Amino acid sequence: MSEPAVVAGLSILGIPPLPDTGLLDQHISEMDRAAAYHRRLVQDGGHAYRLAGTNEGPATDALHAYMTSRDGAGPQAADLADRLTTAAGNLRISKGIIEWAEGLLASVAVAAGIAIAFAPQLLPRLAAMGTRFIAMLRNALSRAGRIFTSLLKTRQARRIDAVADRLHDAWRTPRRLPGGGYEPRVKTTTDQAWIKRRGTDEVDIANTRYKDLPADWQKENKESATVAVRLVDDARKHGADLKGEKFMESASESVHDAWLRRNGEWAPPEQKLPYHQLSQAEKEKDRVVVREALAKED
């Protein structure tokens, strides 16, 4: 895209130069190297673990938990290696999209350079084509960017998103209509990125999937999910009975206390009470959050 004819044509059409794909090559190489490094860590750790496994005692038990538990070093390193590899592949796709768009825009730019000399009446049509190609490119890269962001989330962050998604579905299930869809619940949002993408500040939160909600309407479910997932993780580390009533009530109380810290200023009187004074219906709202965090723990 640096050829004089192409640069001149893009200038005529008012289209800015596309990003340098050489930077993407650098990022891809770094991610590939990081993925290979973490895979070596998994292999080396596995060798060390097998050697240590011939021993017995508390130290060996601790090593077993450290290397093999879901949040242990081995699984975490393997998970990170997989995500880095996938992210590098996603960047390769993004690079291909840019290069594809460059080819289309180069053709339009050259045509614009010719048109300005011999057929200026074609310039508006060429400019419209260039604008469409740029819009297609931005949309494709925006989707790739969202995928890329999700790939780099930690395992715990992905679990939090999954719990938040289930909480949203649990909330809207009673609103399901016999013919499909949900009883509408239209709200306004201040999420400027969402507004720019959708062209409106109104969102029907009942008929919108959690992942498609604006950030301000994801926030409460995400906050509750974060508290519950961390409670479950901490309890597991300390050997608590996650299926027992004691854990359920303790965790539900913590979820309620955290909710009050976030929403106490506007909460109705019946929800401002300490957990042990709440009605069973109100307690159940907090228990639902804990159950959803436990849903994949069986």
| pLDDT tens sequence across 181-214 | 999 999 999 999 999 999 999 999 999 999 999 9
204: which strand partners?
186
Of 298 and 110, the structure prediction assigns the larger pLDDT to: 110
- For the segment 72-100, the average pLDDT, to the nearest whole number, is 80
- For the segment 234-239, the average pLDDT, to the nearest whole number, is 85
| Side chain identity at residue 71, one-letter code | D
Contact 52, 62 (CB under 8 A): no
Confidence at residue 66, expressed as pLDDT on a 0 to 100 scale? 54
Closest CA to 94 of 8, 25, 174: 25
Confidence at residue 68, expressed as pLDDT on a 0 to 100 scale? 59
Longest dimension (CA), the chain: 86
Here the tokens at position 120 are 């200026």
Confidence at residue 215, expressed as pLDDT on a 0 to 100 scale? 96
CA distances from 204 to 143, 170, 183 (A): 22, 16, 9
Sign of the dihedral through C-alpha 42, 46, 47, 52: positive
Confidence at residue 31, expressed as pLDDT on a 0 to 100 scale? 85
Burial class (CB in 10 A: 0-12, 13-18, 19+), 280: exposed
Sign of the dihedral through C-alpha 284, 172, 259, 239: positive
Distance CA 238, CA 252 (A): 18
Closest CA to 144 of 38, 26, 24, 29: 24
Of 188 and 20, the structure prediction assigns the larger pLDDT to: 188
For the ranges 65-69, 73-77, 78-82, 272-276, the maximum mean pLDDT occurs at 272-276
The CA-to-CA distance between both ends of the chain, in Å, stands at 55
Here the tokens at position 3 are 């050829």
For the cut 60, the answer to whether the pLDDT of residue 298 exceeds it is no
Of 8 and 52, the structure prediction assigns the larger pLDDT to: 8
Distance CA 41, CA 64 (A): 16
- For the segment 9-37, the average pLDDT, to the nearest whole number, is 82
Q: Which of 89-98, 229-238, 260-269 has the lowest mean pLDDT?
A: 89-98
Question: In this structure, what are the phi and psi dihedrals at residue 268, rounded to the nearest 5 degrees?
Answer: -65, 155
Residue with tokens 């060798």: 47
For the cut 60, the answer to whether the pLDDT of residue 218 exceeds it is yes
For the cut 90, the answer to whether the pLDDT of residue 163 exceeds it is yes
- For the segment 117-135, the average pLDDT, to the nearest whole number, is 87
Average of per-residue pLDDT values in the chain: 85
Q: Cite the beta strand spans of 162-246 per DSSP E.
A: 186-188, 202-204
- For the segment 3-13, the average pLDDT, to the nearest whole number, is 81
Confidence at residue 283, expressed as pLDDT on a 0 to 100 scale? 97
